[in-house]
Amino acid sequence: MLKKWLAILIVGIMLAMAQEVRVSMDFQGTDMPLFLQWFGKQTNKKIIYQQQGLHGKKIYFICPQGIPEKSIETIGMAILESNGFTLIRSGEGEANVYKLVEMAEEELRKMEEGDYYISQLIIIKHLQVSSVVTALKQTKVLHARAGSVVEIKGANALIIQDFVPNIRRAIKIIEMIDKPQSKMEIAFVSLKNAQASDINEKLQRLFQANAKERAEYNLPEPLTIVADSRTNSLILKGSREEIQEARNLIERLDREIKEEVETAKIYELKYVTPEKIVPALKEFIKTSVFLKKAEKQIAAGPSLDRITVITNEHTKSLLITATEKEHKLLESVIQKFDVRRPQVLLETVICEFSPSDVLNIGIELLGTGNTEGVDIHGLTSFGLSSIVDSAGKAIDDKNPAFPAGRKLAPGTGLTTFITKGNESKIPFLLKTIQSQSNAEVLSTPRVLTDDGEKAEIRVQQEVPVTSTNALNSSTSTTSFKEFVSAGTVLIIKPQIIHSNWLRLEITQDIEAFIGNAPSLGVPPPKSSRSLKTVVTVPNGQMVILGGLYDRREVETIDKIPILGDIPILGMLFQTRTRSVSKTNLYIFIWPKILIDPEFKDLYKISQEEHKKAKKASKDSLEKME
């Protein structure tokens, strides 16, 4: 019910703006039969209806100012259609008899189940209402059967009846075309090279092509162009935008005609990308050879300004504007550049040998005594054992007491000690252990790259680094910050220089973690080694990079001041850790050129590797069974 109130109220108020003979319409819950009697009297119609079918039907329409007399029939029919009824002429001649019928059931069902069906009045501000109606019918935004549009020429408005989404689309179209006319301006353009009559003819074809459609929709007249042969100039009349557009066209057309006409051609690249070829083309255009062959009578400056090269990365093509002679030269250069480059298969073997030897030796002493009633205690502690009291409990912050003995800490290696009195009194403790390891790392990465392009191989270890954020004085959170990597990075740029010879630019960076992180949020320390070289080898010959040898010897001594410095006897007051580690790295590189245009050599290698991988997978499954 609310949709009917709003739609009909808008229609009534807006129609009241037209200054004509008006009829008061004020229906507030009026029964349908009473409304039909009033409507028939006002329009001189005899309306036949069935009383029982109108039971409970009410009409709501408020228009205090009244509506134009000639619009009563239009508004009345809109009210009936909004309530699901319409009038159909019955009989022939001048009887003017109409029958009240309900709208099609499928239309009513669509109104109930779908969007709201409303009537909307729209005031046209700048265009003629007939032009807007024609535009709406051509766009077909309204429903084919349920939608309708009625002109109100006296008020330059229209009434649209349709579902809400269709009416919204119609309003958007009206807002787009119902614009005020731009302010007309006049401009004079003098021509330098072309004739005013020739330019005028071309511009007339462009700007007058849609003059009929503009007049039909009451749009501003197209740009007016008048040629003045005496001054060889053009007089332009129109909006500022149209005049500027015409100026741009005139500037392009009013050029000096040279011997050859410039044309635009598209060159599609097959093997290379535009960014690889464009710099070379631009440098070639600057050379005297190009200027001499293509433009004998034109200096270098104008030639460089005329030739344009536009790239399209998506289609791998070049758009070049030049003369026919220049196109032939550029095309020959592009064909020489746009060739399939051979590919190079780089097989590498990275071997790393890392033996290490760590020796730990530690001594702890404990002594107690009594001199003239005074207890004397002395001990050394390097983490080999824990200090206990007379009850054998470990001494710490929760159990402060006098030391009475030791308790051996669990661990590996050789432990030698002397006891006195009971098992906790250990005046002498010796602990030693030696750890040896021999690590070998072997990786065989393989990479395929184009001739002259870099290939990168990374064999790295990544360690996470966290960060701590303090929420308050007693609470903090720890979150992931980043990964820190260390390992071997091998970058190889192969280039075929002559027949089956290869020039290899090799860059190798080796990094390794050499300890634990000093604190939370700080990455662990690492060592770094780098190698950079250029070698020339025959196709299929192996290159060996060796000698990347690293030896580290670290000795750590924890001791008691002064006592630990006494020769020989000082060893009783200290603990020693001595570690020796060695790293030897070898890298083998085997480059192989793949030149077969059908990629048969690559296919053969791929099939061999596929068979190896399949056999390895089969062997692994058999071992698991």
Q: What is the pLDDT of residues 488-535, one digit of tens each?
A: 888 999 988 877 888 999 988 888 787 777 777 788 888 788 888 899
Q: Which of 125, 157, 177 is the last residue of a domain?
A: 177
The reply to whether 7 falls in a domain is no
Give DSSP secondary structure letters for 486-511.
Answer: EEEEEEEEEEEEETTEEEEEEEEEEE
First and final C-alpha spacing in the chain: 79
Residue 608, Cβ neighbours under 10 Å: how many?
10
Q: To which residue do tokens 């758009």 refer?
A: 319
Domain containing residue 320: CATH number: 3.30.1370.120
Q: What is the pLDDT of residues 89-103, one digit of tens each?
A: 776 656 678 888 776
* Weakest mean pLDDT among 146-150, 183-187, 439-443: 439-443
Q: Which two tokens stand for residue 254?
A: 């009013």
Checking if the pLDDT of 187 tops 50, the result is yes
Burial class (CB in 10 A: 0-12, 13-18, 19+), 623: exposed
Whether residue 383 is found in the same domain as residue 510: no
The reply to whether 428 falls in a domain is yes
For residue 350, the cross-strand partners are 443, 587
Checking if the pLDDT of 462 tops 80, the result is yes
* Weakest mean pLDDT among 50-64, 103-117, 177-191: 103-117
Whether residue 55 is found in the same domain as residue 127: no
The sheet with strand 501-513 has its strands ordered as: 455-470, 476-498, 501-513, 526-538
The pTM for the full model equals 0.44
Whether residue 150 is found in the same domain as residue 215: no
Q: What is the pLDDT of residues 411-448, one digit of tens each?
A: 777 777 777 766 666 777 778 887 877 767 777 888 88
Whether residue 461 is found in the same domain as residue 444: yes
Q: To which residue do tokens 């200096």 refer?
A: 299
Whether residue 596 is found in the same domain as residue 533: yes
Nearest C-alpha neighbor of 354 from the set 530, 581, 508: 581
Checking if the pLDDT of 111 tops 50, the result is no
Checking if the pLDDT of 553 tops 50, the result is yes
The reply to whether 9 falls in a domain is no
Q: Which of 138, 161, 177 is the last residue of a domain?
A: 177
Q: What is the pLDDT of residues 383-410, one digit of tens each?
A: 777 777 766 677 777 777 767 677 777 7
Whether residue 332 is found in the same domain as residue 443: no
Whether residue 125 is found in the same domain as residue 208: no
Whether residue 235 is found in the same domain as residue 173: no
Mean pLDDT confidence for 50-54: 79
Whether residue 447 is found in the same domain as residue 594: yes
CB half-sphere exposure, 29, CA atoms < 13 A: 0
Catalogue the long-range contacts made by 110-114 (C-beta closer than 8 Å, 24 or more residues apart): 110/146, 110/163, 111/84, 111/146, 111/163, 114/163
What's the total number of domains in the chain?
6
Whether residue 95 is found in the same domain as residue 144: no
The CA distance from 511 to 489, in Å, is 9
The reply to whether 348 falls in a domain is no
DSSP 569: G
Radius of gyration over every alpha carbon of the chain, rounded to an integer in angstroms: 49
The reply to whether 346 falls in a domain is no
Q: Do the beta carbons of residue 189 and residue 247 sit within 8 Å? A: yes
Listed ranges 93-97, 208-212, 548-552; the one with the highest mean pLDDT: 548-552
Q: Which of 69, 102, 135 is the last residue of a domain?
A: 102
Residue 427, Cβ neighbours under 10 Å: how many?
17
Give DSSP secondary structure letters for 13-72.
Answer: HHHTTS-S-EEEEEEEEEEHHHHHHHHHHHHT-EEE--GGGGTT-EEEEEEEEEEEGGGH
The reply to whether 457 falls in a domain is yes
Burial class (CB in 10 A: 0-12, 13-18, 19+), 30: middle
Whether residue 243 is found in the same domain as residue 326: no
**What residue ranges in 154-198 does DSSP mark as E strands?**
157-163, 185-190
The reply to whether 624 falls in a domain is no
Whether residue 365 is found in the same domain as residue 410: yes
Q: Which residue has the higher pLDDT, 470 or 18?
A: 470
The reply to whether 301 falls in a domain is no
Domain limits at 581? Answer: 438-468+477-605
